[in-house]
Amino acid sequence: MKSAILQTATRYLLPILLLFSFFLLLRGHYYPGGGFVGGLVASIAFVLHSFANGTASTMKILRYKPLSLIPIGLAISTLSVVAPLLLGLPPMTGLWFEEPIPVIGMIGSALFFDLGVYLVVIGVVLTILFTIALEQ
C-alpha cells in the first residue's frame, strides 16, 4: 500500500506514537496505562510505519530483529524481581527511591518490571506480525 499521505503521516506519527506509548508506560502506576498497553501502542506505531513504507524499511529503522527485544525485556523484568534479594528482602518486594524524579515521577522496581513487559510485548507483537508479513 503505497500512499504518499500515509507515508508522510507516519513520518510524524511514529515518533509521536512512540512517545505516547512511553508516556502510557510511565503513568501506568497512577493513571490508566502501563507496560502492556504501552507496548501495544508502540507496536502499532511500527506496524503503521510498515504499512506505509513496507516491512523491510521498518526492519531497517529497528536495526535489530524485534526478536532480540524479548530476552532484553525478560532480563529487565527478572532483574527487578530478584533485585530485592540483594538487600536481603524476599523477591518482588517493591523498592522505591525516596524522592520523585522530575518529569518521570516516582521510580521503583515496579517501573522496571513494567519496562520489561513493555519491551517483551513490542518484541512479541512485531516478531509475530513481521515474520508472517515477510513470509513469501
Partner 1 sequence: MLFTVLTGLITSSLLIPFGKLVKAKWSIVLPLVPVLLFVFYLLHIPTILGGTNLVQHVDWVPSLGVNLDFRLDGLSLLFALLITGIGTAIFFYGRTYLKGHPYFDRFFAYLLLFMSAMLGVVLSNNILTLFVFWELTSISSFFLIGFNNDSKASRDSALSALSITGLGGFFLLAGLIYMGHIAGTFMISELFTKHDLIVDHPQYPLIVGLIFIGAFTKSAQFPFHFWLPGAMKAPTPVSAYLHSATMVKAGIYLLARFTPILGHTEIWNNTLLIVGGFTMVFAAIHALFRVDLKGILAYSTISALGVLTFLLGLGTQEAIIAAAVFILVHALYKATLFMVTGIIDHETHTRDLTKLGGLRKVLFPVFIAALLAALSSAGLPSTFGFIGKDLIYEATLHYKTNWTLWLTALAVITNIGLVAAGFMAGLKPFTGKLPPGFANVHLPYPSMWIPPLILGSLGLIFGVFPGYIGDIFNYQAANAIVQTDTAMHLKIWHGFNTVLLLSLATLLIGIVVYFFNKPSERKLAAVERLNSIAPQRIFSIIGRSTMRLSNWYTQTFHNGYLRSYHIKIIVFAEILLGYKLWISGPIHIKWDSLTPLSWYEVGIVAMLLGALYIIVTTRSRLTSVVSTSVIGYCICLMFVFYSAPDLAMTQFTIDTLTTVLFVLVLYKLPSFINITSRWLQLRDAVVALGFGVILSLIALRVLQEPNVTEISSFYGENSYLLAKGKNVVNTILVDFRGLDTMFETVVLSIAAIGVYSLIRLRLKSSEKE
Radius of gyration of the chain (CA): 17
Tell me if 107 sits within 8 A of 97, measured CB to CB: yes
> What is the total count of residues that contact partner 1 (CB under 8 A)?
45
Check: CB of residue 109 under 8 Å from CB of residue 84. yes
Q: Site map for partner 1, 9-38, x if CB under 8 A?
A: ---------------x---xxxxxxxxxx-
Backbone angles phi, psi at 108, to 5 degrees: -145, 180
Q: What is the pattern of x (binds partner 1, CB under 8 A) and - over residues 67-96?
A: x--x--xx--xx--x----------x-x-x
Under rule CB under 8 A, residue 97 binds partner 1: no
For the chain, what percentages of helix, strand and coil (3-state, to nearest 5) are there? 70, 5, 25
Name the amino acid, one letter, at 60.
Answer: K
Q: Cβ atoms within 10 A of the Cβ of 119, count?
A: 26
Residue 125 CB, shortest distance to partner 1, in Å, is 6
Residue 58 as a binder of partner 1 (CB under 8 A): the answer is no
Q: Does 133 bind partner 1 (CB under 8 A)?
A: yes
> What is the contact surface with partner 1 in residues (CB under 8 A)?
24, 28-37, 40-41, 43-44, 47, 67, 70, 73-74, 77-78, 81, 92, 94, 96, 106, 108, 110, 113-114, 116-117, 120-121, 123-125, 127-129, 131-133, 135
